[in-house]
Amino acid sequence: MSNSIFSKIANAVGGKKGRFITLAIWILLVIALQLFLPKAADYKDDAAPDLAASEPSVIAQKVMDEQFPSGEGTPALITWYRSTGLTNADLAQIQQFSKELEQNPIKHQKTAVPYDKMPLPVLKQQVSEDGTTFIQTVLMDSSATSDQLKDSFTELEKTANATFSDKPFKQNVASKDTLVARTTGPAGISVDATELFSDADVSLLIGTVLLVLVFLLVIYRSPILALIPLIAVGFAYLAVTPILGLLGQEGVITYGSQGLSIMTVLLFGAGTDYCLFLIARFRSQLHHDENRYTAFKKAFGNTAGAIALSGFTVMAALLILLVAKYGSIHNFAVPFSLSILIMMISSLTLVPALLGIFGRISFWPFVPRTEAMAKEHAAKKGKKVKIHRENRFWHRVGEISAHHPIKTFVITILILGGCALFATQVKYTYDTLSTFPKDMPSREGFTLISDHFGAGQLAPMNLIVKTNGEKTAMRENLQKTDGIETISVGVPSTKNRDYTMYTIQLTDNPYSNAAMDLIPDIRDTAQTTMSDAGLSKNNVWIAGQTATQFDSRAVTKDDEALIIPLVIGLIALLLLAYLRSITAMVYLVATVLLSFFSALGLGWVIIHYIMGTEAIAGLIPIYAFVFIVALGEDYNIFMISSIWKKSRELPLREAIAEGVGQTGGVITSAGLILAGTFAVLTTLPIQLLVQFGLITAIGVLLDTFIVRPFLVPAITMLFGKWAFWPGKGHNQEHK
């Protein structure tokens, strides 16, 4: 776009008439969207499947539901525990509670094991060897949402309170000689996961707003200016959420609490950045132009293109998530990219309108004035004139990179490379429970089961085979497999006796990598057994949480292998189109990739060696990669575009110093705010978001303080005129 087009846009949105029209349009638009479209929160779906119907575990679950309907449902494991040992009175009350559930089922209850019909000696055989723990199984409707299950468990606890005098679900697990109950298993885990994210929404929004407000007040020391970016982000948030609600209502997209939480951080972080780039240039221009409209047109013309490119870069990178097969990743694409698009529009329309309305007063009490205006103002006040002096700190940083490029390059590569080396040591987990706080009911229940029964009992897997009535050595062969604790005798289907089901309890935690690694062995053994019996090896299905986790791990790894190259390729093409330099495109992409691996490595050091976490969530690499690479490239675009413009009039060495100096302050401010907003995620009780927020914040800080001011300028200086290749340097003195 030419400057004349930007000038017309600036006049349309921030001119004398345009500013009020723009503000009015935004107000009317937001009111209409809020009044006539549904709320996003009303149509979030935290129970949306992550795996496609074609995945083996999903097919197996369907076969199991069809052929073994009595076992259909999501297990809720009510874990009863007394540290000194369960008494006969405890067991009698548990039997009474079981009878209540049979006679008055809770909502969405499918079946409950009739423990009340078992003689006490038989019931005692199901208590743990140390006599402290008993597991009561209740199957819930597999189609029930997490919110519906939560209501069911609230009802279940009320039933328990009427049966037990001491309210066992409210007792502390560490209590001595007290009957304690916890609901765990797949149903309990699902409820706790949803509750964690739903509780996070409000606290995350408040924490993010306060952090951004404090940062803006510290940076600009102006209450009006601190509110302008927040108003812009607030309007964008109020616009995007009802649009998401409509798309969710119509079934066009699916999103959950986790996506809405991260979207909030993205809006405030990236949105404030876009606002700051325009505000900083406007303030700088006000020191040179008396007419605020002239100053704004120049500021808008110098930043709008970079803001638009930056926004489209991030938006396009996030849209690539649509190719993901894993539901949670795929479902992020539209909410995130739509929020960036609307925020970009807000920063290029609403922010100019607000700046046009407030003008210089936006910066009160430190109002930017030209030298003549400053003298006139001082004379009126009878005070000594204060002439504005540009902060030279970032100019000096730029000079260091430009005058000592080899030394700067070596030092920064050593720092970033050293951090990146730790990325090779990262261990990943797909254990949902490990991301929960230790005091969450489902995790406490799992710990009790693991300590007193064995972790495998939390979620046994089911092997279904179609034998056509033929006998096989399936149970005998599977018993030889390492990692299997127990395997039941084959149970024929009540609908078609050609189908037989074996229940397998593993030695390891069913959500662990060790358990998942057994799936291929179990499948191979089962298929070989079928072949030996002259039966089709295709008639083998493995259902259960471990099989689901195995497929989830495989699908997310495939998504990583597809999405990462696509994001790199997209950003490379956009940089090439904007800079028209293959050389610059290559080293800018390379530096941001280095930022990502350095952030992953340094994040692992903090998470593993300082926080004591054994492994990070398996989804972290793809989450962090997209955000660090896409958002990190923003800063490179703003800085390198400034260097490119300066190089038209100055030798490259001076252009680098001036480019870094001109953008250093605002990019640092933007980087601190963006890192801060992601760091807010670390205050939440969800390890997935803690790890994601920490690693992304580290990536932004590395990019802000090392890559952008030192590494990129040093590389640019080392390439000299070749930095513009195949284009030509604007000034002949590129040496």
Q: What is the pLDDT of residue 201?
A: 66
Q: Which of 18-32, 256-270, 677-691 has the highest mean pLDDT?
A: 18-32
Q: pLDDT band at residue 360, thresholds of 50, 70 and 90?
A: confident
pLDDT for res 389: 61
Give the DSSP H/E element, type plus range, for residue 76.
Answer: strand 74-81
Residue in this structure with the two tokens 């924490």, named with its chain if needed: 207
Residues 209-213: what's their mean pLDDT? 86
Burial of 414 (0-12, 13-18, 19+ CB in 10 A): exposed
Is the separation of the CB atoms in 219 and 275 below 8 Å? no
Question: Residue 735 is which amino acid?
Answer: K
Q: Could you give the C-alpha distances from 669 to 205, 599, 635, 732, in angstroms and in order?
A: 20, 19, 11, 34
In the chain, the largest separation of any two C-alpha atoms, in whole Å, equals 105
Given a contact cutoff of 8 angstroms between Cβ atoms, the answer to whether 500 and 490 are in contact is yes
How far, in Å, CA of 406 to CA of 414, rounded? 12
CA distance 632 to 58: 38
* SS3 (DSSP) at 506: strand
Q: Assign 16 a pLDDT band (cuts: 50, 70, 90).
A: confident
How far, in whole angstroms, is CA 65 from its chain's centroid? 33
pLDDT band at 732 (very low <50, low <70, confident <90, very high): very low
Dist CA 630 CA 510 (whole Å): 36
Q: Can you tell me the distance from the alpha carbon of 213 to that of 223, in angstroms, rounded to the nearest whole number?
A: 9
Where is average pLDDT lowest: 96-100, 174-178, 277-281, 390-394?
A: 390-394
Mean pLDDT is highest, among 168-182, 279-293, 413-427, 453-467, for 413-427
Average per-residue pLDDT in the chain? 87
Residue 17 corresponds to which tokens in the numbers above?
Answer: 């008439």
Domains of the chain, earliest start first: 1-36+222-389 (1.20.1640.10), 74-192 (3.30.70), 393-446+553-735 (1.20.1640.10), 460-543 (3.30.70)
Residues of the chain by 3-state class (helix, strand, coil), percent to 5: 70, 5, 25
Triad 329, 334, 337: Cα angle to 5°: 105
102/115 Cα distance (integer angstroms): 10
**In degrees rounded to 5, what are phi and psi of residue 537?**
-75, -10
Higher pLDDT, 387 or 510: 510
Which structure tokens are listed for 450?
């693991």
Centroid of chain to Cα 230: 22
Reported confidence tier of residue 1, pLDDT bands at 50, 70, 90 = very low
Question: What is the token pair recorded at 724?
Answer: 């513009």
Residue pLDDT, tens place only, 542-585: 998 899 999 999 999 999 999 999 999 998 998 888 888 899 89
Structural contact between residues 80 and 173, judged by C-beta atoms closer than 8 angstroms:
no
Distance CA 136, CA 79 (A): 6
Report how far residue 37's alpha carbon sits from residue 240's, in angstroms, rounded to the nearest whole number: 11
Q: How confident is the model at residue 375 (pLDDT cuts 50, 70, 90)?
A: low
Q: Where are the alpha helices (DSSP H) in 493-581?
A: 513-516, 518-532, 545-579
Cis peptide before 510 (omega within 30 of 0): no
Answer yes or no: pTM beyond 0.95.
no
Look at residue 294 and give its three-state secondary structure.
helix
390 or 17, which is more confident? 17
pLDDT tens sequence across 100-109: 999 999 999 9
pLDDT at 381: 64
Task: Match 């070989």 to its residue by tokens.
Answer: 528
Q: Residues 142-160: what's their mean pLDDT?
A: 88
Confidence of residue 89 (pLDDT cuts 50, 70, 90): very high
Sorted by sequence, the CB contacts under 8 Å of residue 395 that are 6+ apart come out as 657, 658, 660, 661, 664
**Average pLDDT score over residue span 74-83:** 91
The number of residues making up the chain comes to: 735
**Which runs of consecutive H residues, i.e. helices, occur in 140-222?**
146-163, 185-220
- CA dist., res. 676 & res. 265, Å (int): 10
Which DSSP category does 166 fall into? T
The answer to whether 626 touches 313, Cβ cutoff 8 Å, is no
- For 2-36, b/e burial (b = at least 16 CB within 10 A) is eeeebeebbbbbbbeebbeebbeebeeebeebeee
Task: Tell me what percent of the residues of the chain surpass a pLDDT of 90.
Answer: 41
Among 407, 305, 405, 416, residue whose Cα is nearest residue 656: 405
In this prediction, residue 723 carries a pLDDT of 81
Q: How wide is the angle at C-alpha 630 spanned by C-alphas 629 and 631, nearest 5°?
A: 95
Q: How many CB atoms lie within 10 A of CB 432?
A: 20
Structural contact between residues 450 and 81, judged by C-beta atoms closer than 8 angstroms? no
Q: Decide which of 303 and 707 is more confident.
A: 707
Q: Are 375 and 385 contacting, i.e. CB atoms less than 8 angstroms apart?
A: yes
Look-up of token digits 């793809």: 622
Structure tokens at 63: 């076969």
Question: Is the preceding omega at residue 726 within 30 degrees of 0, hence cis?
Answer: yes
Please choose, from the candidates 343, 320, 126, 322, the residue with its C-alpha nearest in 3D space to the C-alpha of residue 234: 343
